[in-house]
Structure 1
Amino acid sequence: MPKHRIIYFNARGRAEPSRLVLSAAGVEFEDIRFTSEEWETEKATGKYHFGQLPCMETDGVMLSQSRAIARYLANEYGFAGRTNLEKAKVDIVMDTCEDLLQGMIKIHFEKDDAKKAELTTQYDKKVATTLASLEKMLTDNNGGDGFLVGDGVSLADLSFYSQMEYNLSSPILSSPNLLDSYPKLKALNARVAALPNIAAWLEKRPKTEF
């Protein structure tokens, strides 16, 4: 079995979906977390693609771009979907979660209070529309009491869970009751967290704000 090293900062961030895939698969990995100062030294070595994180080193081969890493691992360990159609649906959820994350980042870095308030209002509307669509996607998949794609957990569910960790507890967008209006998604979120391998990872991973 290849040896994986997930390399990122001390945060869940863009590395967490890949950590969740490896955890769900029961695959041990090195969880490398740099401080900002350490990263500046590491980046100067030139071995990290594009000078950015996250990266993953697998048997000496360096991979970059968070979603590319997550998809690679999902394909390796059976979480990418069984058919091309299922894979496309998994990608739809991944890209949808990326849209939500980008919206949060934009609000976080906005300095103008009035603009921040405007962006937050727009974001809240987008979240509501997105969750309604995902609730339907889940319900359309055999009634919605399983997973978003196919008949087992996939990168779609893990990406959704990772994003909801932000939306449910974000210091900039505190929405602890966000999923109350989406019972199928709320149950899915709990179902993913209760998977034995995922529960074990959630228990042992470093506690971080992001």
Structure 2
Amino acid sequence: MGCGASSSAQTAPAAKPQARNNMAPSAPPKVKLTYFDFRGRAEPIRLLLEAGGVKYEFNGISQEEWKNLKPMAITGGLPILEINDKPLGESLAIGRFVARKNDMTGADDFDAACCDMIVDNVNEIFFSKMAPVMFMPEEERPAALKKLVEEYMPAKFAILQKFADKNNNGHFVGNKLTWADVYFFSIFDLMKAHLPEEAFEMIKGKFVAPCPSFQKIIHTVKSNPGIAAYLKNREPPVTDA
């Protein structure tokens, strides 16, 4: 036997010293959002980017420019979000991606699903139902809007109010800003921009004024530092839905 441990005992190999990470933090991604040169479906996405403090380029294009871009669009439509030149299409998919990357989908998977459920309802109210009315001939709009407000919206806003009332803390889900809050705010923001003042005030008076929990959510979103700064000086101006 030699010096040291007996032959029946094995000496554990010495741990290798960990290499120090001398790499500098990775550069933030290059983010580019392309949409028509008005608000529309890009606006909720811009609000999410602003809330997350994400630096991005907004590429507002004309209808003429879109004719040339459309054949290359990943899903054949706008908006398109590019992350380091990798494109994403479909507005809700983009919104969900931005929300996930900026911790705005709630505390767990169930919260995330609740956010999805609320956003789906909100998106339907404005983009599936309200926006088409705006493109109707002017003489047809009042009757169509009246029908929408009286026959369709009450049930939809009742669903949303259940979530808002249950939390009653300025958020639909959990206790911090989610993309559900942002999308809810955005439909009223877009309605205010695109509807006649009388029509907007009617909708606001019917669905928001009687509901303090809705008012809290709108206030929460408007008070977010990134969103507040954006709303103060935003571009482009309102020209279309």
Q: Which secondary structure state, in structure 1, belongs to the residue aligned with residue 65 of structure 2? A: helix
Q: Give every structure 1 segment of 4 or more consecutive aligned residues whose post-TM-superposition deviation is greater than 6 Å.
A: none
Q: Does the aligned pair in 2 maintain the 1:20–1:158 contact within 8 Å?
A: yes
Aligned partner of 1:108 in structure 2 is 134
Aligned partner of 1:201 in structure 2 is 230
Instruction: Count residues in correspondence.
Output: 205
Of the structure 1 ranges 188-197 and 160-169, higher mean CA displacement relative to structure 2 is found in 160-169
Indicate yes or no: 2:210 matched with 1:181.
yes
Q: Which secondary structure state, in structure 1, belongs to the residue aligned with residue 72 of structure 2? A: coil
Shift of 1:169: 4.2
Aligned partner of 2:180 in structure 1 is 156
Shift of 1:71: 0.4
Indicate yes or no: 2:68 matched with 1:41.
yes
Q: How many angstroms apart in 1 are the aligned matches of 2:62 and 2:194?
A: 21
1:40-98 deviations in whole A, cap 9, x for unaligned? 2223xx33113311001111111100000010111111012221111111111111111
Q: Which of 220, 223, 239 is the matching residue for 1:191?
A: 220
Question: Could you say what the CA RMSD is over the residues aligned between the two structures, in angstroms?
Answer: 2.0
Aligned partner of 1:96 in structure 2 is 121
Aligned partner of 2:79 in structure 1 is 54
Q: How many angstroms apart in 2 are the aligned matches of 1:10 and 1:169?
A: 15
Length-normalised TM-score, structure 1:
0.88
Aligned partner of 2:146 in structure 1 is 121
Which 5+ residue runs of structure 2 have no aligned equivalent?
A: 1-27
Which 5+ residue runs of structure 1 have no aligned equivalent?
A: none
Shift of 1:112: 8.8
Of the structure 1 ranges 102-111 and 86-95, higher mean CA displacement relative to structure 2 is found in 102-111
Q: Which secondary structure state, in structure 1, belongs to the residue aligned with residue 122 of structure 2? A: helix
Shift of 1:148: 0.7
Shift of 1:135: 2.2
Q: How many angstroms apart in 2 are the aligned matches of 1:168 and 1:3?
A: 32
User: Residue type matched to 1:95 in 2?
Assistant: D
Length-normalised TM-score, structure 2:
0.78
Aligned partner of 2:104 in structure 1 is 79
Q: 1:112 to 1:202 in 2, by over 3 A?
A: closer
User: Residue type matched to 1:94 in 2?
Assistant: V
Aligned partner of 1:139 in structure 2 is 165
Q: Which secondary structure state, in structure 1, belongs to the residue aligned with residue 88 of structure 2? A: strand
Shift of 1:153: 0.4
Q: Which secondary structure state, in structure 2, belongs to the residue aligned with residue 56 of structure 1? A: strand
Q: Which secondary structure state, in structure 2, belongs to the residue aligned with residue 49 of structure 1? A: coil
Q: Which secondary structure state, in structure 2, belongs to the residue aligned with residue 27 of structure 1? A: coil
Q: Does the aligned pair in 2 maintain the 1:23–1:197 contact within 8 Å?
A: yes
Q: Does the aligned pair in 1 maintain the 2:105–2:179 contact within 8 Å?
A: yes
Q: Does the aligned pair in 2 maintain the 1:131–1:182 contact within 8 Å?
A: no
Q: How many angstroms apart in 2 are the aligned matches of 1:33 and 1:169?
A: 18
Q: How many angstroms apart in 2 are the aligned matches of 1:120 and 1:8?
A: 27
Shift of 1:174: 2.4
Q: Does the aligned pair in 2 maintain the 1:169–1:176 contact within 8 Å?
A: no
Q: Identity rate of aligned residues, in percent?
A: 27
Q: How many angstroms apart in 2 are the aligned matches of 1:134 and 1:47?
A: 37
